[in-house]
């Protein structure tokens, strides 16, 4: 496998709040058009009963043809390649051409590469990216190899998404607010994503009615280095946007860094001291990426600004 030389992040689009919506729930589908989430995962997998999969595909296809989702990222989570619905799901993805397809329970690089091959067989799917869910012990162990597929010539992989419900079930780790025994696994997935320039999305929190606990979990995920969180209820959106979005102080510092390194007087410097802190030019590059996301969000709220 040949890797591309740089491990840069795939997108400047924010992914703070990634709301998952059952494709079979027509009311929930239409509601997302008015929500302030960064991305929507339209789920054909766990939230849809086996006997209603075909109905869900049809409903989602019709919705995507007419919906106004603005600049929200559109992702379709399909059923696994080992099941009977995978081919039909992929055919629907190719026809609908969303921003990305989310592969469930990815355990090895072949799962990603096989999806890439199917997408590349159709010109209509040229722009469709891939997200991979890491939700089994084998998936965690192979997270780096999976992430590495994003840096091949055929690389379409943009993000890893953690699925803790299945991982807890497989490992026997209880669902406790601190997630203390899961931290090593979470950090391993973050490290794999960063090593190969991918975004990484934290797992859902099932206790959506307890926003205090949810706020704590969001703060923990942000501190770990996650880009955002997968959500199961609109009530969680504001907390995720706040926790994974930059503060006013962070934005101001980013602008200061860019201004300093853009000054012709500092053209030959790769390191300097700003406000008592040593910073490198690479920090200015990250600051520029952050400001791109801030500008994207501002434009999304007010396209005429």
- CA dist 305 and 133 (Å) reads 36
- Burial of 95-119, coded b for 16+ CB within 10 Å and e otherwise, reads ebebbbbbbbbbbebebbbebbebb
Is 73 annotated as ligand-binding?
no
Contacts for 302 with CB less than 8 Å, ≥ 6 apart: none
CA distances (Å), origin 200, targets 12, 69, 212, 269 = 13, 22, 23, 32
Structure tokens at 65: 């043809």
Is 166 annotated as ligand-binding?
yes
- CA dist 258 and 17 (Å) reads 27
Structure tokens at 70: 């603005």
Q: Are the CB atoms for 256 and 284 separated by under 8 Å?
A: no
Is 281 annotated as ligand-binding?
no
Residues making up the annotated binding site are: 77, 135, 166
Residues making up the annotated binding site for Mg(2+) are: 135, 166
Residues making up the annotated binding site for substrate are: 77, 135
């Amino acid at each position: 496998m040949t890797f591309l030389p740089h491990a840069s992040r795939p997108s400047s689009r924010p992914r703070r709040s990634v709301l998952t919506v059952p494709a079979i729930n027509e009311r929930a589908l239409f509601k997302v058009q008015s929500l302030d989430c960064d991305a929507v995962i339209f789920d054909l997998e766990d939230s849809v009963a086996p006997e209603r999969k075909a109905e869900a595909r049809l409903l989602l296809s019709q919705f995507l043809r007419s919906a106004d989702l603005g600049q929200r990222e559109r992702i379709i989570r399909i059923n696994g390649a080992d099941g009977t619905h995978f081919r039909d799901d992929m055919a629907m993805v190719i026809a609908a051409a969303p921003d990305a397809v989310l592969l469930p329970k990815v355990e090895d690089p072949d799962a990603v590469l096989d999806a890439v091959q199917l997408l590349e067989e159709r010109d209509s799917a040229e722009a469709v990216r891939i997200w991979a869910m890491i939700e089994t012990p084998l998936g965690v162990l192979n997270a780096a190899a999976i992430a590495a597929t994003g840096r091949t010539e055929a690389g379409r992989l943009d993000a890893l998404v953690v699925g803790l419900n299945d991982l807890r079930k497989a490992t026997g780790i209880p669902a406790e607010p601190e997630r203390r025994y899961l931290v090593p696994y979470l950090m391993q997935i973050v490290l794999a994503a960063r090593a190969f320039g991918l975004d990484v999305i934290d797992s859902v929190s099932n206790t959506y009615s307890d926003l205090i606990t949810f706020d704590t979990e969001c703060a923990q995920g942000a501190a770990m280095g996650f880009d955002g969180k997968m959500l199961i209820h609109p009530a969680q959106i504001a907390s995720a946007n706040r926790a994974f979005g930059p503060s006013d102080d962070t934005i101001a510092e980013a602008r200061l860094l860019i201004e300093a390194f853009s000054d012709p007087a500092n053209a030959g410097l790769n390191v300097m001291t700003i406000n008592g802190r040593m910073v490198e030019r690479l920090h200015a590059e990250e600051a520029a990426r952050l400001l791109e996301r801030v500008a994207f969000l501002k434009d999304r709220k007010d396209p005429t600004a």
